[in-house]
Structure 1
Amino acid sequence: MQVTSVGHAGFHITTAAGTILCDPWVNPAYFGSWFPFPDNTQLDWKALGDVDYLYVSHLHRDHFDERNLLENVSKDATVLLPDYPVPDLRRELERLGFTKFFETQDSVKHTVSGPKGDLDVMIIALRAPADGPIGDSGLVVSDGETTLFNMNDARPVDMDVLGEQFGDIDVHLLQYSGAIWYPMVYDMPRGSKKRFAEQKRQRGMDRARSYVDQVGATWVVPSAGPPAFLDPELRYLNDEGRIDAEHVGGDLSNIFPDQITFLEEMKKAGNGSERPGQGLLFIPGTVGDFRGTEMLSLTHPVPEDEVMRIFTEKTAYLDAFAERQAPVLTAEKATWAADDGVPLIGALRAKFEPIMAGSDLICDGIGYAVGLEMGSETVVLDFPNRVVREPKGDDGKYRYGFRIAPELVRTVLRDDEPDWVNTIFLSTRFTTWRIGGYNEFLYTFFKCLTDERIAYADGWFSEAHDDTASCELDGWEVQRRCPHLKADLSKFGVVEGEKLTCNLHGWQWDLPTGRCLTSSGHPLRASRLAT
């Protein structure tokens, strides 16, 4: 099996039974905020797109690159389709001209037969409202000789299915870096933001290393991050801390560590050349040839010293990258909606109020009014009353508030975007504040701005989940499944004193009371074991 990095979470997989292109992203995403790092514009995208199979893990724009898919990927390719509850991904691919679909079942091994032979594939589909835009996934591929797990930035909760269906994994591709806006955009004291960022960064590293241990692959390729922030307004988001032969680590308060940093974390944790889980550095154009557990060759597109300079001289690399991409960024900004002088409240009412009317559980879960400050105009999303209105004198300070440039709001309204999380929020081109904990219901609302999505999300939250099974963690008996998204706490739970952290998403609980420290609701069943 030959595995070629095409940048970020993208890979081109060559087997005797056919070729697969995974998540081919090259054009800037999220209002021009994200560019693939390292630069992958030099690749031959027409050649890469001439494949037998296409796999797009989910609709996040750093995985679903509409322009690249439209212009460069063969419409004769068969799409390996995840098993999602809402068919938005299929609809989008059909709109781009794809007509051949192999519909998989969640976590079921399938044999895909083509003119060149058979491939065994399985797609683990995550379908909670918090997973991507109503869906995220990971792909397992076996050609009978080598088995590869492309986890990209999915967060599966049950790794046992890998062994049950495929046995040992040879190559593991996984996310390790941030793909979120917290805490950088929050209006909070600098010291607090630094501490929260350090915690966020370390939790991401811990989660990724936990997956490395659980999957137990021979070779591990950190991928799916970080992006490059090339807009001068956003350059501060890049981890440009000192990285050289004597110090690998970067800025510990930056949530976008790079590949070299995670490989160093793996070494510290014991994942070196003498044991399974050896990390490999891929950049766009790197080709790895694997035969079972054996790596036959690893070839970079440039000499080794040039590969390392991307990371050890990152500021200079990003400066040159930004200069090359400046016209692209300018063109992207030219597509944003202009100010037509019409207040935004009318369009926001038309967009939001029907969604509010169809989502009682989510609106009640939000439970308060949310402020949108858009330049000189402020609009209130009054979730208890299911209306969008102007501010009132007795509103006080909103428990959640957003400051967003009006041109961004006008653009998503013009384009009838179903997901502000996948556009405005991931762009980091906004600021926010909150009083109290994170509100998962609020962000679910913003990513479910269609009748179909909101109905699914409302129903998902209303379903009862079994929490009868228990596990023991450092002197405590706790329910085995996390109250947030049902991760196995025997694998992802970490106890420090009287606080439990689930490393899958970083949520925390106070063990003596069972109270969730991250968000309202979501209590945990826990009791101290007798000594």
Structure 2
Amino acid sequence: MQITFLGHAGFVVETAGAIVVMDPWLSSKGAFDSAWMQLPRNHHLAPLVREKLETPGKERFLYISHEHKDHFDPEFLATVQRRDFTVLVPKFHRSELQDVFAKYGCKRIIACEDAREVPIKGGYIKLFVSEQGTNRDSAVMVRGDNQCFLNLNDCKLHDRMVRIVSEEGPIDVFSAQFSGAIWHPTCYEYPSETYAAISLKKRDSKFEAVARALEQVEPRAYIAAAGPACFLDPTQFHLNFEKVNIFPNATQLFEFMKKRLPQAATRYLEPMPGDVLDVKTLEFVSLVPERVTPENMGQYLRDYAAMQEHVFRERRRNLLRAEVDEIHERLRVELQRKLDLLDLHERVGMPLYVELTELPERLLRVDFKGRRVDVVPEIRETVRYTMKASAADIVRVLDRKLNWEDFLLSFRLRLSRNPDVYEPVLHGFLGVEIEDMREFCEGIRSTEAQRERTQVEVGGKRFSIQRFCPHQGADMSGGWVEEGRYLVCPRHRWQFDMQDGGRCTQNNSSLCAEPVPERESSDKAEKSASAATDVRART
């Protein structure tokens, strides 16, 4: 088995029987309205990937993990001429990927349920699918030539890793996201000290999740992939040079791992786009000459930005006042349509204020309990959530050139909230498409309906808790303990304070923790052991 790294989360895996191209993100315009660019740049690999997909001989597969545009690159895929290969996509409730490829003209499409195997000569490809409401992702495993590669990319399967390894056997090479990919705290208006503290906590939490996955998988090698993009828009270029943010590089990850897992035998690899790894020997059989290092990163980014300057020059547009007024009204209608379908609106106890930067005197006030969107001259409440963006950026969402989540990931907005507490329904209202709003609400209800309980040990005491995280249903029996009191969700790393009834430190959700009397603890622990592994404190 050989693995060619394509940059970001992209790979070409070649065995004696098949070629599998995974998440090729190669467009020179990047992703999320050109806000994210591949780091290191990899656009020059497009001809190589086309050749792999178009050349007959071995059976060929294209795997797309989910819809995010740093994984699903329609612009590049449109350049592939010969399409007699098989497309593998996860089978989500929303059939967007299947629908796109049904029109693409490929040999066949296989929409895979969770844990479905697709046989290849001498092995198989297997997809692991994760879907909670509108949060959709998947991971992929290729086994062939007596070797195995497990690529988690962004998929948060950390609460399933023990079971996957026990069922699938040894894994030679493992890859999983180690960098942030969210707009918090990047887009929030925090004091610099608060911003740095939040970023550091989130970064270390992400590193810890990778460390625990490595402890469970015990691969021979870990490839640092699905790492940070870079930000070459002149208005965002400073993000590349922040001392602390949620976009660490592989060097920082490896330093953490050497301290966290000093006895681990796993090799840590940071390939450049185009490097080819032989899985049997764990040696690179081909290395590209261009190497990006912490020492040359600054100049590399400045040169890269100069190369891409035309992309941002072309997207600039000055709007007339009449156009801004029209966009403002279209946005009001869009928000009202969303609100009409949000049947969990009663849970949001604060208004949302949306400001177009060109019209600061005409704010849109979303009243969730009243189910109204009104135009007001100023912010009235201390307790509120705010979003600011330009009409030129918002109109691209209204024109369906990108969806709401893509817009949020573009970082071309500013947010604030008081109190500084994550509100899942309001968060979903912002990021979910109109047609997905009912499914989003049903997903929350479905997660909340899971009442199974289990026992965990925290701080030397046993607690009975709801087994599944109230956020997106992760199995809390796969979590870990921090500071002797906080049970941490293995999927999104929310902390639940066992000394406060299992209440989440980020919002008002709870695991409804109850101390187990000592006389009952041993009996119940034995019964729950078959359903879940006890959580142990981190050393």
Give 5+ residue unaligned stretches, structure 1.
241-250
Q: Does 1:255 find its partner at 2:240?
A: no
- Per the alignment, residue 518 of structure 1 pairs with 506
How many angstroms apart in 2 are the aligned matches of 1:336 and 1:142? 54
- Per the alignment, residue 237 of structure 1 pairs with 239
Residue 499 of structure 1: how far off its partner (Å): 3.6
Of residues 356, 361, 364, the one that matches 1:374 is 356
Q: Give, as a single letter, the amino acid of the residue that structure 2 aligns with 1:21.
A: V
Q: Give, as a single letter, the amino acid of the residue that structure 2 aligns with 1:106.
A: D
- Per the alignment, residue 269 of structure 2 pairs with 280
Contact 1:122 1:141 in 2 (8 A): yes
SS across alignment from 2:219: coil
How many angstroms apart in 2 are the aligned matches of 1:282 and 1:70? 27
RMSD: 2.7
Of residues 323, 328, 350, the one that matches 2:311 is 328
Residue 219 of structure 1: how far off its partner (Å): 0.9
- Per the alignment, residue 445 of structure 1 pairs with 429
Length-normalised TM-score, structure 1: 0.87
Residue 175 of structure 1: how far off its partner (Å): 0.7
- Per the alignment, residue 492 of structure 1 pairs with 479
Of 497-506 and 54-63, the range deviating more from structure 2: 497-506
How many angstroms apart in 2 are the aligned matches of 1:381 and 1:77? 48
Change (3 A) 1:477 1:441: farther
Please give the per-residue CA displacement for 1:3-33, whole angstroms capped at 9, x wherever unaligned: 0011100111111221111111123112221
Of residues 91, 97, 110, the one that matches 1:102 is 110
Q: Give, as a single letter, the amino acid of the residue that structure 1 aligns with 2:366.
A: L
Residue 485 of structure 1: how far off its partner (Å): 2.6
Contact 1:271 1:279 in 2 (8 A): no
How many angstroms apart in 2 are the aligned matches of 1:322 and 1:123? 36
Q: Give, as a single letter, the amino acid of the residue that structure 1 aligns with 2:33.
A: F
- Per the alignment, residue 524 of structure 2 pairs with none
Change (3 A) 1:290 1:271: farther
- Per the alignment, residue 470 of structure 1 pairs with 455
Length-normalised TM-score, structure 2: 0.86
Q: Give, as a single letter, the amino acid of the residue that structure 1 aligns with 2:36.
A: W
**Identity, % of aligned pairs?**
27
- Per the alignment, residue 383 of structure 1 pairs with 368
Q: Does 1:318 find its partner at 2:308?
A: no
Where do residues 42-121 of structure 1 align in structure 2 (5 Å cutoff)? 42-43=44-45, 44=47, 45-50=49-54, 52-72=60-80, 74-98=82-106, 100-108=108-116, 110-113=117-120, 117=121, 119-121=123-125
How many angstroms apart in 2 are the aligned matches of 1:6 and 1:380? 44
Residue 488 of structure 1: how far off its partner (Å): 3.6
Residue 127 of structure 1: how far off its partner (Å): 0.5
Q: How many residues align?
A: 501
Contact 2:124 2:142 in 1 (8 A): yes
Of 472-481 and 55-64, the range deviating more from structure 2: 472-481
Change (3 A) 1:314 1:285: same
Q: Give, as a single letter, the amino acid of the residue that structure 2 aligns with 1:120.
A: Y
Contact 1:271 1:277 in 2 (8 A): no
Contact 2:102 2:109 in 1 (8 A): no
Residue 284 of structure 1: how far off its partner (Å): 0.3
Q: Give, as a single letter, the amino acid of the residue that structure 2 aligns with 1:290.
A: V
Change (3 A) 1:334 1:93: farther
SS across alignment from 1:469: strand
Of residues 331, 340, 344, the one that matches 1:357 is 340
Please give the per-residue CA displacement for 1:371-403, whole angstroms capped at 9, x wherever unaligned: 101121421222222232212778424511111
Contact 2:397 2:404 in 1 (8 A): yes
- Per the alignment, residue 7 of structure 2 pairs with 7
SS across alignment from 1:487: coil
Q: Give, as a single letter, the amino acid of the residue that structure 1 aligns with 2:353.
A: G
Q: Does 1:24 find its partner at 2:9?
A: no
Of residues 117, 127, 130, the one that matches 1:126 is 130
Residue 408 of structure 1: how far off its partner (Å): 1.0
Change (3 A) 1:385 1:64: same
Residue 508 of structure 1: how far off its partner (Å): 2.1
Of 476-485 and 179-188, the range deviating more from structure 2: 476-485
Of residues 195, 209, 212, the one that matches 2:211 is 209
Contact 2:62 2:88 in 1 (8 A): yes
Please give the per-residue CA displacement for 1:405-462, whole angstroms capped at 9, x wherever unaligned: 1111111001275x412x22111111111112111222222332133x2222221211
Q: Give, as a single letter, the amino acid of the residue that structure 1 aligns with 2:478.
A: K
Q: Does 1:141 find its partner at 2:142?
A: yes
Change (3 A) 1:334 1:25: farther
Residue 503 of structure 1: how far off its partner (Å): 5.0
Change (3 A) 1:332 1:213: farther
Residue 497 of structure 1: how far off its partner (Å): 4.5
Residue 99 of structure 1: how far off its partner (Å): 5.9
